[in-house]
Structures are given as structure tokens and as C-alpha cells.
Amino acid sequence: LVRRMREFGTTVFATMTKLAVETGSINLGQGFPDTDGPARMLERAVEAVRDGFNQYPPGPGVPELRRAVAEHREKWYGLAYDPDGEVLVTVGATEAIAAAVLALCEPGDEVIVFEPYYDSYAAAVALAGAVRRPVTLRVDAGRFTFDPAELAAAVGPRTRAVLVNSPHNPTGTVFNRQELEAIAEVCRERDLVAISDEVYEHLTFDGVEHVPLATLPGMRERTVMISSAGKSFSVTGWKTGWICAPAPLVAAVQAVKQFLTFTAAAPWQLAVAYGLREEMDWVNGLRADLQAKRDRLIAGLETAGFGVLRPAGTYFVQTDIRPLGFDDGLELARRLPELAGVVAIPTQAFYDNVSRGRHFLRFAFCKKDEVIAEAVTRLRHLS
Ligand code: PMP
Ligand code: GLN
């Protein structure tokens, strides 16, 4: 394995899911729902296969999906993107992120990431031979946020891009306008590209609104907006994502993407186009269900003795393990199957400054009510 990839090993998600399977534990680690997406959308995928959509689709993606993505952006956010040239379909958001970083960053360029960060960000930056500059999200008034001065100070002469993720995995923070404006200001002043991962765009709670970075003044022209069907429609295994950006940025990302995967699988694209057009009511229902699941898991974790940080979005809850008498989340995550028959994610896996994430554990609540109920019953044994 090349030197620049050696620090990464196996992803924490694969490791913890394997642990859950081996120990027969309830898996509240890796974030994937245990129920299916909208039935008619699933049926569309089957029909697409039956109807012969089984050969290479066009490189930028099936036109129906590119149009559906553009219509969705216009309808939800008032953002206009041309489906021919400003939308590119990718193999999940993961490919979109990697292709964007590879397309836009020269070796030695710096990329700002907010830590804790989604694990593929660091690997994508390393693959490009670029350097990550973490800005730490810290807990303030019960939510993770950043200090704008720290963000500004992280920008140097080699900074090329800021990787933004809101709603944010793994903290559940949804950046508000003020936070987004602080990011936008730095991007405009220092001429940076924003790579904006918005895969949880529809999973926000308590009436909190997701604001796409590209809607801020001067940002549409410098933002690569990324999303995916996995979270919105509970089809994480479909690996169908997309970017929206000005044509020159899309052309750059496509220049890389064509040699990573050339194109994304055809049948899912037709089904997701249908989902974006016809199943947004279902997505709103999912959002309401998830909010109730969040509240159920939070209540259970609090009863079990965890310190709980209430997320405004995503399907993850951060907990502080210190009230239970534990100190190291990595150690507790490894022992949790034996102590309680539950698997969670050690949040420190997402930090460069590991000590800052040491006492956090992440639990996923995108699970059936009875699974959440059983998990919290088991976790009561901890105290
Ligand atoms: N970004 C974030 C923040 C995620 O949590 C995930 C994982 N689901 C992804 C990107 C990857 O999305 P996809 O499965 O569409 O590649
Ligand atoms: N996004 C999911 C999570 O954060 C997992 C994705 C993966 O397994 N790579 O749990």
C-alpha cells in the first residue's frame, strides 16, 4: 500500500459492523436504516432492470436523474442548475467527494476540514497528495460549533478548498446562517472552493432548516454541492449521488470521475429520479419518524447515564461517556458488546486531535423502534 494511505487502515464503520456481527450485538454503529425506502421507488428500480436499462448510461448520468436533481434544487432551495453541464451523477457522495478533491487540489494544497470529520474526507485529501487542516468543532450550549477566528487562522497561502458538511456527521449539528456566513466569508475573501457535503439535507428536526452553502451571496459560483439518495430515501446500498456546481467545476470533477468509474449504475438512477419527483412526502414522513426515534434513543441513553448532545439533524447522537465513569470512547466501544451487547462508534476515529474526541461515543437511531428499545434496555446495565 502506498505510504500516503497507510495511516487509514480499515474504516471504523467496517470494523464496528464486523464486531456487531461477530458478537451478535445490536448495531447502532454504522449509519444505515433497517427499513426500506419508498415501495414505489424500489419497484421503479426493478422495472428499470426489466425494461432493459442495463447498459452504460451516459458519463454525466441518466438525463432523467440530472433533470430531477435540477428541479429538486430549484424547488427546495431556489437554486438553478443546468441539467446539461451543471449536474453530474456519481457513485454515491463518496465518489463525488473524492473526485472533487482529486480534481481541484494539487499535491501540497491544503484543505480545511471540520473535525470530527466523516472518515472519507481525510483519505480523499491524502489520495490527492493534499494536506488536511482541521478546525475543531467544540461543544457550546449543547451543540458542536466552531470559532470563526480559528477557521480564518487555518487558511494559509496553500489553502485551496474547505470541505463542509451540514447537517454534520458525526455531531448532528446543522450549521445556522451565521456559521455558514463565516465559512462563506473566508471562501470569498481567500478565493477558496467549497466542497459541500449535504447528504443529510432532508434529515433535520424540530423545524431546523437546512441552508445550502451555495445559497449564500457569492457562493454558488464557488461551491461544489454534493448529495446522495442513500440517506433521503433509505437506500444506502444504492450508492447513487450527484454534484451540482458551475460548469467549469463540474467539468473538472467529471474529468476525474470518468476514470474512477466512468459512470454510475443505470437502474438506480431512474428510480432515484422518480423518488426526487414523486416521493418527497415519503421523505418528510421519514424525517418525522427519525425525530421520534431520536427522542426515544436520547431518553434511553439519558436513563442509562450518558451525557447526551441533542442533534438537530442526521441520524446520529453524540454522547459523553464520562458521567458513566468511562474516559476512553475507543476502549468502551471495543468492550460495549461484552458489557451491553450493543455496538457504537468511537467518535475519536474522526479527529486528528484525538484527545478532543476521546470521551464521545456516537449512536445511530435510524433503526426500528423495538431495536432502539432493546438497545437502551441493554445499555442500562452499564451504570
Ligand atoms: N458524507 C457523509 C457525511 C456521510 O455520512 C456519508 C455516509 N453515508 C457519505 C458522505 C457517503 O454517502 P454515499 O453512501 O452516498 O457515498
Ligand atoms: N455514513 C455512514 C456512517 O457514518 C457509514 C458509511 C460507511 O460505512 N462508509 O455511519
Domain boundaries, the chain: 3-37+282-382, 39-279
CA–CA distance, 219 with 235 (Å, rounded to integer): 30
Question: Given the CA of residue 31, which atom of ligand 1 is nearest to it?
Answer: 8
The pTM assigned to this predicted structure is: 0.98
Question: How far apart are the C-alpha atoms of 353 and 330, rounded to whole Å?
Answer: 14
All three cell numbers of 52, joined, read 432493459
Closest ligand 2 atom to residue 30 Cα is 10
Ligand 1 centroid – CA 18 distance (Å): 19
Atom index in ligand 2 nearest the CA of residue 364 equals 10
pLDDT tens sequence for the chain (383 residues): 999 999 998 999 999 999 999 999 999 999 999 999 999 999 999 999 999 999 999 999 999 999 999 999 999 999 999 999 999 999 999 999 999 999 999 999 999 999 999 999 999 999 999 999 999 999 999 999 999 999 999 999 999 999 999 999 999 999 999 999 999 999 999 999 999 999 999 999 999 999 999 999 999 999 999 999 999 999 999 999 999 999 999 999 999 999 999 999 999 999 999 999 999 999 999 999 999 999 999 999 999 999 999 999 999 999 999 999 999 999 999 999 999 999 999 999 999 999 999 999 999 999 999 999 999 999 998 98
Best residue for ligand 1 mutational test, from 13, 121, 169, 195 (most atoms within 8 Å of Cβ): 169
Q: Which ligand is nearest to the CA of 27?
A: 2
Domain at 3-37+282-382, CATH homologous superfamily: Aspartate Aminotransferase, domain 1 (3.90.1150.10)
Residue 364 CA, ligand 1 centroid: distance in Å = 14
Helix axes 92-104, 119-127, angle to 10 degrees: 40
Contact 359, 329 (CB under 8 A): yes
Q: From ligand 1's centre to the CA of 150, what distance in Å?
A: 26
Asked if residue 294 lies in contact with residue 365, where contact means CB atoms within 8 angstroms, the answer is yes
* Ligand found nearest the CA of 316: 2
Res 156: pLDDT: 98
Are both 3-37+282-382 and 39-279 of the same fold? no
The bound ligand whose nearest atom lies closest to the alpha carbon of 89 is: 1
User: What is residue 383's predicted lDDT score, i.e. its pLDDT?
Assistant: 83
pLDDT the model gives residue 218:
98
- Tens-digit pLDDT profile for residues 260-297: 999 999 999 999 999 999 999 999 999 999 999 999 99
Answer yes or no: is the ipTM higher than 0.95. Answer: yes
Around ligand 2, the residues with Cβ closer than 6 Å are 11, 13, 30-31, 169
Q: Which CATH number fits domain 39-279: 3.40.50.180, 3.40.640.10, 3.20.20.70, 1.10.10.10?
A: 3.40.640.10
Checking DSSP bridges between strand 193-197 and strand 223-228, what pairing results, if any?
parallel
Distance CA(349)–CA(343), nearest Å, equals 15
Question: Which ligand is closest in space to the CA of residue 199?
Answer: 1
pLDDT value at position 7? 93
Residue 343 has a pLDDT of 98
Cα 93 to ligand 1 centroid, rounded to whole Å: 5
- The pLDDT value recorded for residue 94 is 98
CB-side neighbour CA atoms (13 Å) of 99: 30
Q: How far apart are the CA of 171 and the centre of ligand 2, in A?
A: 13
Pocket of ligand 1 (CB under 6 A): 92-94, 118, 165, 169, 197, 199, 228, 230, 236, 239, 241
Atom in ligand 1 nearest the alpha carbon of residue 91: 16
